[in-house]
Amino acid sequence: MNTKDRQFQTENQQYHLPFSLSTVKNKKVQASYTGKDISTDAGALLLREMDKRLGLIDKVSECINDRRDQRYIDHELTEMLRQRIFQIACGYEDGNDCNELRSDSIFKICAGKLPESDPDLASQPTMCRLENSVSNSELYQMAKAFADMFISSYKKEPGLIILDCDDTNNNTHGDQQLALFNNYYGQYCYMPLHIYEGLSGKLVTTILKPGRRSKNVDVFAILKRVIAHLRQHWKNTIIILRGDSHFCSHQFMDWSVDRPNIHFVTGLSGNKKLNELAKMTVESAQRAYEANGTDQKRYGSFMYQAQSWEHPQRVIVKVEVTEKGTNVRYITTDMQQYRASHVYETGFCARGNMELRIKEHKLYLKSDRSSCNSFQANQFRLFLHSAAYVLIHTLQKEVLGNTEYANATMKTIQLKILKTAAWVREMKTKIKIELPRAFANIVAQKQAFDILCPSG
């Protein structure tokens, strides 16, 4: 018995004792926690191969200046990033999970270690020190790395991209820096900004912000930098900003006037002046409802200039009249050549997919776990969860695209593809991983392995 097995038996003796379950055909059923080198997350190997293709974790690692004394290091920086990101992707969102999973054979392989002969992975305290060591300048470089990863995901310059922007609440439950009370949510929280490409669902970047709605000037400052970075690589791509009403930034609208191929379509809060300009459209819909007794929908379009705007902009009004009453919504855009109904229904309403992407990021990958005291550490955590999103999203769209999981949620991919038991054995000349022969999703998973590892 080697030292590792002896230590395992000593520390976990209470789990070794067998316990009885209900009988089957008069035979006793006995169970115990004595299996060796069994992992429940063998599908993480797919993410490992995907990351080798993308080089994502290496790019994030390059942004961090390792200030530790190299003579006393047990865990390389890239190794720790792989450990944490792959664990997040498999549903282990908390740093405390590192303690329970540091001996897991699959996660050791994913981190670049041998499953048995190499030391265990980093513990929670080590991971916590990493989270709190990252500086503002390094976080800025990571944000650029995610934007660069987005750019490199296209084989050639795209003709059109849509920047979908929205923020969401990450509730806090401690004394986190810059966590503010948000009256709408009734909680102290952060309000991270998520930016995705609207046609593909690819993540552009995620920026942690204090717990308030985005101010116009803040939106403009971030988007101006993002677009400037994209323009360095894509000179002719049409870029459209799409967002809700609090992303209606007059600074952005005025700035984009003289920029070719920069457009916007955002929500617009109603006011007395807008209601006057939309009066004809509203009355037309109401008359039609009264005459026919059926639900009515009308679109109208007019030019409008708020006091803070340097230039008048096109405003589109949508009016719906039903038995519940009259509902009036406004959007504004600089695109004059399209019909009002087309811009609203095809252009603006498609931003609803943004809510699903935030749900994937926040609910299924648990990116709202902002448990660190430091604001910078919580931004770093958000980037780790964003890296997990990029890996799973790329796996889904590029590898599982012709399977039943092409449009599945990330939770489904976690449960059906990543959560697979495997027996791992480290031999003299190779590492042998045995997956179960009775596995409901073996066809899709094997196909993914064949695509990512064609020589295997």
- Assess if residue 181 is contained within a domain: no
45 and 111 housed in the same domain: yes
Q: Hunting for tokens 């295997």 — which residue is that?
A: 456
- On the question of pLDDT at 145 being above 60, the answer is yes
| Interatomic CA distance for residues 333 and 318, integer angstroms | 14
- On the question of pLDDT at 36 being above 60, the answer is yes
| Interatomic CA distance for residues 180 and 189, integer angstroms | 6
- On the question of pLDDT at 3 being above 60, the answer is no
What is the full DSSP assignment across 14-61? Answer: HHHS-EEEEEETTEEEEE-S---SEES-TTHHHHHHHHHHH-HHHHHH
22 and 70 housed in the same domain: no
23 and 46 housed in the same domain: no
- Cα dihedral 398, 404, 407, 412, rounded to 10, equals -100
Interior CA angle at 377 toward 139 and 207, to 5°?
A: 50
* Residue 411, helix vs strand vs coil: helix
Q: Hunting for tokens 């952060």 — which residue is that?
A: 190
The proportion of the chain whose per-residue pLDDT surpasses 70, expressed as a percent, equals 96
Alpha helices (H) in 234-364, listed in sequence order: 250-256, 272-277, 279-292, 340-342, 352-359
In tens, the pLDDT along 329-352 reads 999 999 998 999 999 999 999 998
What is the full DSSP assignment across 273-287? Answer: HHHHHTHHHHHHHHH
Whole-model pTM: value is 0.92
42 and 127 housed in the same domain: yes
> Hey, what amino acid is at 347?
G
pLDDT at position 305: 94
The b/e string for 305-331 (b: 16+ C-beta within 10 A; e otherwise) is: ebeeeeeebbbbbbbbbeeeeeebbbb
In tens, the pLDDT along 224-237 reads 999 999 999 999 99
Q: Which two tokens stand for residue 137?
A: 């300048």
- Assess if residue 287 is contained within a domain: no
* Mean local confidence (pLDDT), 361-372: 93
- Assess if residue 303 is contained within a domain: no
* Residue 337, helix vs strand vs coil: coil
pLDDT at position 7: 57
* Mean local confidence (pLDDT), 24-38: 83
402 and 440 housed in the same domain: yes
- Residue that wins the pLDDT comparison between 66 and 215: 66
Structural domain count, the chain: 2
pLDDT at position 14: 62
Residue 38 banded pLDDT, cuts 50, 70, 90: confident
28 and 82 housed in the same domain: no
pLDDT at position 399: 96
Q: Any residues with CB less than 8 A from the CB of 175 and at least 6 apart, and which?
A: 373
- Assess if residue 25 is contained within a domain: yes
Mean pLDDT rounded to a whole number for the chain: 92
- Assess if residue 88 is contained within a domain: yes
In tens, the pLDDT along 72-81 reads 899 999 999 9
Number of residues written out for the chain: 456
13 and 43 housed in the same domain: no
| Interatomic CA distance for residues 11 and 57, integer angstroms | 34
73 and 88 housed in the same domain: yes
- Assess if residue 63 is contained within a domain: yes
| Interatomic CA distance for residues 229 and 376, integer angstroms | 23
Backbone angles phi, psi at 353, to 5 degrees: -60, -25
Long-range contacts (CB closer than 8 Å, 24 or more residues apart) made by 376-379: 376/132, 376/134, 376/135, 376/136, 376/139, 377/131, 377/132, 377/134, 378/176, 378/190, 378/208, 379/139, 379/207, 379/208
| Interatomic CA distance for residues 160 and 395, integer angstroms | 23
Burial of residue 23 (number of CB atoms within 10 Å: 0-12, 13-18, 19+) = exposed
Residue 34 banded pLDDT, cuts 50, 70, 90: confident
Full domain range(s) for residue 430: 38-135+390-452
Residue 13 banded pLDDT, cuts 50, 70, 90: low
48 and 25 housed in the same domain: no
pLDDT at position 8: 46
In tens, the pLDDT along 261-305 reads 999 999 999 999 999 999 999 999 999 999 998 999 999 999 999
- On the question of pLDDT at 383 being above 90, the answer is yes
In tens, the pLDDT along 204-229 reads 999 999 988 777 778 889 999 999 99
Burial of residue 127 (number of CB atoms within 10 Å: 0-12, 13-18, 19+) = buried
pLDDT at position 21: 86
- Assess if residue 214 is contained within a domain: no
- Assess if residue 42 is contained within a domain: yes
16 and 78 housed in the same domain: no
48 and 92 housed in the same domain: yes
**Residues 408, 404, 53, 75: is their CA dihedral positive or negative?**
positive
57 and 85 housed in the same domain: yes
Find, among 39, 35, 34, the residue nearest to 421 by Cα.
39
